[in-house]
């Protein structure tokens, strides 16, 4: 086969060493800037800030902390399911698979799958797809710990990375999307995203998705209102980020964290509540934001699913259901599907 890189002219390949390389799109894409997105999302009648902006360095660190607070059950529950799953995965893998991860992930979860793949395959490739530069240090640690592993980072949006992978070669892919990150999508956007994944998969490829399940409102609301206030800090941090990067003057003391479960729409809704009537200047977005007392800025939806909904959704997109793994309390799910 000819060098597969040549087919993807719009990506530039960076070789770090024989086991580590990454691809980055060449030209700047026609994506809106942070300033533009904030200008339109906060410029509307119902104000919002897209959740993808939570994850600057500080926000990513705070999210890591959330993952280990007592009330936030998803991370540790998913890890416990992955521990169980990895011993059963061989039943579903015919031949060698490359691990493709949407998001560069928490290395704890990635490692559980790499433990299994690197032990059962002569060599294993790991392809994280992430818009933020994939951390050099964590790659180095992985390469140290798994001698028959090689890493190819794709620094792009999930959609871009998947499109790139589609024509990359004909090795089989096990695509993983963990942590219930899918829960941030609205039902319509989520459906489109799954169609995108489906359309970029080759027959024989597998897709593993981690989704949070519907449960008692009190358990859900506690998970997003932890007693240490880490989730509140995480939510408020997006305002600091806007202050720093867009020359804004949000006074964080004038806002509070508010998270509530909407039973009808099966989602946690997160907001920043304005504690006073106030006005905020966001220079780089060219915006003077006027807020009423108690006005809400929407920052995140985190959808929860019933098992039957997960199965119907994946089935509607065209996937074939292979298996769903749950924890004992049925708090969280991991579902493996294939494209035939």
Residues that bind ligand AVJ (CB under 6 A): 66, 74, 179-181, 183-184, 224, 231, 300, 302
Find the shortest distance in angstroms from Cβ 194 to ligand AVJ: 16
Give me the helices (H) in 201-301, please: 217-223, 230-246
Q: Which is nearer to ligand AVJ, 111 or 267 (CB)?
A: 267
Q: Which is nearer to ligand AVJ, 161 or 179 (CB)?
A: 179
Q: Which is nearer to ligand AVJ, 152 or 237 (CB)?
A: 237
Q: Which is nearer to ligand AVJ, 121 or 222 (CB)?
A: 222
What is the rounded end-to-end Cα distance, in angstroms, of the chain? 24
Q: How far apart are CA 98 and CA 283, in angstroms?
A: 45
Q: How far apart are CA 11 and CA 198, in angstroms?
A: 22
Q: How far apart are CA 81 and CA 93, in angstroms?
A: 18
Q: Which is nearer to ligand AVJ, 115 or 221 (CB)?
A: 221
Cβ atoms of 252 and 244 closer than 8 Å = no
Find the shortest distance in angstroms from Cβ 254 to ligand AVJ: 21
Q: How far apart are CA 87 and CA 115, in angstroms?
A: 10
SS3 25: strand
Q: How far apart are CA 257 and CA 231, in angstroms?
A: 8
SS3 132: coil
Cβ atoms of 51 and 38 closer than 8 Å = no
Strands 255-262 and 267-274, how do they pair? antiparallel
Q: How far apart are CA 78 and CA 106, in angstroms?
A: 12
Find the shortest distance in angstroms from Cβ 49 to ligand AVJ: 13
Nearest to 180 by CA among 29, 305, 21: 305
Find the shortest distance in angstroms from Cβ 82 to ligand AVJ: 15
Q: Which is nearer to ligand AVJ, 42 or 232 (CB)?
A: 232
Find the shortest distance in angstroms from Cβ 64 to ligand AVJ: 11
SS3 14: strand
The phi-psi region of residue 294 (left if phi > 0; otherwise alpha if psi is between -120 and 50; otherwise beta) is: left
Residue nearest to ligand AVJ (CB): 302
Find the shortest distance in angstroms from Cβ 157 to ligand AVJ: 16
- For residue 284, give both structure tokens: 């780089």
> What's the farthest any 2 CA atoms get from each other in the chain?
65
Q: Which is nearer to ligand AVJ, 163 or 269 (CB)?
A: 269
Find the shortest distance in angstroms from Cβ 189 to ligand AVJ: 14
Find the shortest distance in angstroms from Cβ 107 to ligand AVJ: 16
Q: Which is nearer to ligand AVJ, 128 or 183 (CB)?
A: 183
Find the shortest distance in angstroms from Cβ 230 to ligand AVJ: 9
Place of tokens 């890890």: 79
Q: Which is nearer to ligand AVJ, 230 or 248 (CB)?
A: 230
């Amino acid at each position: 086969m000819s060098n597969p890189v040549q087919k993807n002219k719009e990506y530039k390949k960076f070789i770090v060493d024989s086991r580590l390389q990454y691809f980055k799109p060449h030209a700047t894409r026609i994506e809106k800037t942070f300033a533009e997105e904030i200008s339109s999302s906060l410029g509307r009648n119902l104000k919002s800030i897209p959740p993808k902006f939570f994850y600057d360095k500080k926000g990513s660190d705070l999210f890591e902390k959330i993952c280990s607070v007592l009330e936030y059950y998803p991370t540790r529950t998913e890890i416990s399911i992955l521990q169980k799953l990895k011993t059963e995965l061989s039943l579903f893998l015919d031949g060698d698979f490359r691990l493709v991860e949407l998001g560069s992930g928490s290395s704890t979860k990635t490692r559980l799958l790499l433990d299994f793949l690197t032990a059962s395959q002569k060599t294993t490739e790991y392809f994280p797809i992430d818009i933020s530069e994939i951390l050099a240090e964590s790659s180095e640690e992985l390469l140290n710990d798994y001698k028959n592993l090689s890493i190819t980072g794709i620094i792009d949006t999930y959609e871009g990375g998947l499109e790139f992978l589609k024509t990359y070669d004909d090795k089989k892919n096990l695509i993983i999307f963990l942590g219930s990150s899918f829960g941030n999508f609205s039902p319509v956007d989520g459906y489109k995203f799954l169609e995108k994944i489906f359309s970029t998969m080759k027959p024989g490829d597998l897709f593993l998705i981690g989704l949070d399940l519907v449960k008692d409102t009190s358990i859900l609301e506690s998970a997003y209102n932890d007693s240490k206030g880490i989730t509140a800090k995480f939510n408020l941090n997006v305002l600091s980020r806007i202050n720093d990067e867009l020359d804004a003057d949000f006074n964080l003391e004038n806002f509070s964290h508010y998270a509530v479960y909407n039973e009808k729409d099966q989602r946690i809704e997160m907001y920043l509540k304005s504690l006073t009537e106030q006005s905020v200047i966001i220079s780089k977005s060219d915006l003077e934001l006027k807020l009423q007392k108690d006005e809400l800025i929407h920052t995140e939806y985190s959808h929860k699913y019933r098992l039957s909904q997960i199965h119907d959704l994946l089935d509607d997109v065209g996937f074939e259901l292979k298996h769903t793994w749950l924890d004992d309390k049925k708090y969280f799910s991991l579902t493996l599907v294939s494209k035939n």
